[in-house]
Structure 1
């Protein structure tokens, strides 16, 4: 490969690009960020993350700082026009993640916290207020042209991660088309900062599926409020973005006026559901809205983009270090596309419920929900292929490729969430000392990989740390799956299990084979 200026060029500095920049920067790679806007957005576009996403963000920033103005979401109920509940989307089954299952957040806090971490990394260069104007592959690298301050500059990067939104320049430059799932609905979004206490009902997240006009509201963190209203066919977008239109519709539906909130954002969005036909072209990859957009009814748009960044960053790391085969980069789309597709289908189904415009169809819909004829959104799927264990038989096999629970643990006298102590790296947790069954070659591979080795028993030794399983989360999880050990990836997904301690060498060998391991001495 020809010499380059950077290892990875990240295009776009929203939640997906920020996360990728932080993770890759902390891993020591030369990263450049190109973002067309001169500053962070500063307003709350996204308002929800789930507990799994909070885990990933904890690797990218000070998570307590990022969530300082957040609050748990206890429910997300869809009601019909008469106010009768149809379904609670917040009750989708999930494992404990060390954070609330659903969190109302203030996006600027999260972006600022990640940006603050990124700016401590001297190996990350950030070009804000810079427009990407060209992208082409040359001699195994990618040449990028960018325009800033009226000047055009070029740079070369080994890889590109396009996280530049739904209108992605990277996607267009690569000639990648999108498949449209046919969901296109206009909604008016009004965000406000509370001037005084409001009715307690506004602390809840509610979606009213009224064929006359669908509408919803939810809290944004602790002191802000979002209202959304479906637009009718005859309503003009520009007219509905005027302040007087906002106050009129807020008074009509909620009795809310200028004495209650200060409007900080008012926009008409067209909710859509589109997927890029390919997420990769050569050395360039797509993530976040550049790869997939979905209706907001699962609150998973930004969560999916953050998962994209966490999935690909550790793979870039191993390939760039020459430790693993570049073939593992093919697993990025292989793992992420089906997962996103599943969420998009659920979000579209809920979107159709929320956007039922016919009273007759709404009546049939309400009856179907009343008699439990409509299935609830399913749990998120595990990966079916990729960098995961092949044997997925039995009860334990169903969990391979999913995200295991997170609990409080004590390691070396320090107590806290496991992720906070392990970091963005592989981890092996066994009921007994893994060094008792792993030979020096396998131990050396795991050490070179940067994998932390843990035992739940009181038999730690050189290179193996004792976990005091404070809440019993890990011992109970192993017992529930009838296994002796689990191996997790940096993105918290399960690589696989060892049914018994004698099976652990085979699990380690399979990880080595799946990575296409090429290096015997990788610095941890």
Structure 2
């Protein structure tokens, strides 16, 4: 009989890697099915935020993953070189990392891959494509074929894997989504851009040590640093330009010379292709025991830098919920909150990215002039903050900003150990209180928290080295708060008499005895 795994993860890009690592960290038997025989090895994503960096910290060695990274300010210029928007990077974001990070994707993937292979519970099967899927009441069987660059080989090796649940993180052309017959809603944003990734042959000039979007009606283009030693350049294809023409190396050098005065003595091209920007969201993210995640569930234009970040949010949202369900700590219905929480959030970001794409790619000269005048006159409002979660596992009926993100600072424990909060508490729920909550909670509630794997941090017994957690409690007007494993604020206790109710509400929300909504 085919061995039963807890979870099968299909796809080994950032979303799949993260999901597999978090589940492996939690002790689950995971099998990964990936058609490519090795890690991709080239940068596709170049930007993450501090929330994503914190997720990478949970899934791998963050310092190793971000060893060739830098803060990334983003500037939007018009065709005349005038600054329309400047988005500075905060080097000390609330998650304990810069809030805009330029990074080298292969470093991140290698660090997470290294971590998850050390758990001993994750079986990584590379070089295998999923060609079939069958669900029953107890699990999912995936049919596999050996795969090479020409595709799945009809007469090659074949196998099956079986798992209680499946996470399909197999990209925008998801084979699992096709097997399930899930359609996607198309938001009507489709563009073709030339991507040129390069490596500096000399020290990176200062003018390239950040991201720049050139909102030129003649041709939209952009550049962004990939860490400190590499650079990405992108150019919009104009009407009449073909994919074949633009993937000719001379086309790349022509554009680099014309727009940046760069040639083969300055940079080496390491990746050169035309790809499409699109905005599509799957009509359903769960089909029985199978969940779509990352690009398989949603794609968006890159102007907000949130495509990959959204995939990692999917991974960490699913991982902790699957952990509770697999461990008998929550009913299967908890998994329905994955889509109800994530879909509104990613939809809002998709619309924001589309709006920014329209700003960047205004091709009509008169419309571009009007756009420039509005920006330069300060008549364009700043982009709205990222949306909070508004449904799902959240505490009802309080004034706390539930559904927003909780901070991470450095703490020193009584034994002298210093580290980021999550490194000292682990991947799970965390209750942070001004002082020991034990007397107010009592042994039964403390035992419940222990069963959930909830760490308890009393700030009167540790040094809050950055003051970040005490300040956060002050802003909440609370004596304690509970953070979910995906860093989302579940709820806060206004005073010690409310502590017990906070834990009871968490238990009720996870057991499904209440439907939390704000």
Q: Do the structures match in fold with TM over 0.5?
A: yes
Pairing 1:424–2:423 present: no
User: For residues 379 and 507 of structure 1, what CA distance do their matches in structure 2 show?
Assistant: 27
Change (3 A) 1:15 1:197: same
Match of 1:405 among 400, 404, 407: 407
* Equivalent residues in 2 for 1:157-306, closer than 5 Å: 157-306=163-312
Contact 1:31 / 1:123 at 8 angstroms: preserved in 2? Answer: yes
Deviations 1:359-397 (A, max 9, x none): 11111111221233322221111111111111243xxx2
Work out whether 1:354 is the aligned partner of 2:357.
no
User: 1:142 maps to what in 2?
Assistant: 140
After the TM superposition, which residues 45-64 of structure 1 pair with which residues of structure 2 at under 5 Å, given as runs? Answer: 45-64=44-63
SS at 2:462 equivalent? strand
Count matched residues.
Answer: 504
Q: Please give the alpha-carbon distance, in whole angstroms, between the structure 1 residues aligned to 2:191 and 2:271.
A: 19
Q: Counterpart in 2 of 1:435?
A: 438
- The residue matched to 1:438 in structure 2 has which SS? helix
CA contact (8 A) 1:323 1:517 kept: no
Q: TM-score, normalised by structure 2?
A: 0.95
Q: Give the Å deviation of 1:323.
A: 1.4
Instruction: Provide the residue aligned with 2:494 in structure 1.
Output: 499
Q: Is the 8 A contact 1:95 1:404 kept in 2?
A: no
Shift in Å, 1:304: 0.6
How big is each residue's C-alpha offset from its partner over 1:23-56, in whole Å with a ceiling of 9 and x where there is no partner? 0011111111000111100001110111111001
CA distance in 2, matches of 1:359, 1:237: 25
Superposed CA deviations along residues 403-440 of structure 1, whole A, max 9, x for unmatched, are 11211111231112111111211111111210120121
Q: Report the Cα distance in structure 2 between the residues aligned to 1:138 and 1:101, rounded to whole angstroms.
A: 43
2: distance between equivalents of 1:471 and 1:348?
37
Aligned match of 2:397:
391
Residues in 1 aligned to 2:140 and 2:250: alpha-carbon distance in whole angstroms: 49
- Aligned residue for 1:340, secondary structure, equals helix
Q: Name structure 1 gaps, 5 residues minimum.
A: 458-465, 519-524
- The structure-2 alpha-carbon separation of the partners of 1:363 and 1:469, relative to structure 1 and needing over 3 Å to count, comes to same
Match of 2:127 in 1: 129
Judge conservation of contact 2:220–2:236 (CA < 8 Å) in 1: yes
CA distance in 1, matches of 2:458, 2:374: 50
List per-residue Cα deviations over 1:161-206 (Å, max 9, x = no partner).
Answer: 0000000011111111101111111111101111012431011210
Alignment partners' CA distance in 1, 2:363 and 2:88: 24
Moved more, 104-113 or 150-159: 150-159
Identify which of 502, 505, 508 aligns with 2:503.
508
Q: Is the 8 A contact 1:16 1:163 kept in 2?
A: yes
Aligned with 1:234: secondary structure? coil
Alpha carbons of 1:183 and 1:337: their partners in 2 closer, same or farther (altered >3 Å)? same
Q: Is 2:418 the counterpart of 1:415?
A: yes
Aligned to 1:40: 39
Distance change in 2, residues 1:94/1:231 (3 Å)? farther
Within 2, Cα distance between the matches of 1:264 and 1:511? 49
Give the CA deviation at 1:468: 1.3
Q: What's the secondary structure of 2:143's corresponding residue? A: strand
Q: Compute the displacement of 1:95 (Å).
A: 5.2
Conservation of the 8 A alpha-carbon contact between 1:4 and 1:141: no
* 1:486–1:496 contact (8 Å) kept in structure 2: yes
Deviations 1:77-120 (A, max 9, x none): 11111111112345799952111111110000000011111111
What is the rounded CA distance, in whole Å, between the counterparts of 2:270 and 2:425 in structure 1? 39
> What 5-or-longer segments of structure 2 have no aligned partner?
148-155, 514-518
Contact 1:429 1:455 in 2 (8 A): yes
Is the contact between residue 94 and residue 379 of structure 1 (CA under 8 Å) also seen in structure 2?
A: no
Cα RMSD (Å): 1.7
1:100 matched to 2:111: no
What is the CA deviation profile of residues 445-477 of structure 1, one whole-angstrom value per residue up to 9, with x for unaligned ones? 0011111112122xxxxxxxx221112111111
**For the Cα contact (< 8 Å) 1:92–1:379, is it kept in 2?**
no
| Distance of aligned partners of 1:248 and 1:454 in 2 relative to their CA distance in 1, 3 Å threshold | same
> Are the aligned partners of 2:50 and 2:93 in contact in 1 as well (CA < 8 Å)?
no
Specify the SS of the correspondent of 1:222. coil
- Per the alignment, in what secondary structure is the counterpart of residue 15 of structure 2? helix
Question: Is the 1:37–1:129 contact (alpha carbons within 8 Å) kept by the matching residues of 2?
Answer: yes
Using the alignment, how far apart are the partners of 1:86 and 1:281 within structure 2? 44
What's the CA shift string for 1:326-377, capped at 9, x where partnerless?
1110111111111111111111111011111111111111122123332222
The answer to whether the 8 Å contact 2:404/2:488 transfers is: yes
Change (3 A) 1:91 1:364: farther
Aligned to 1:468: 463
Question: Following the alignment from structure 1 to structure 2, what is the Cα–Cα distance between the partners of residues 136 and 440?
Answer: 45
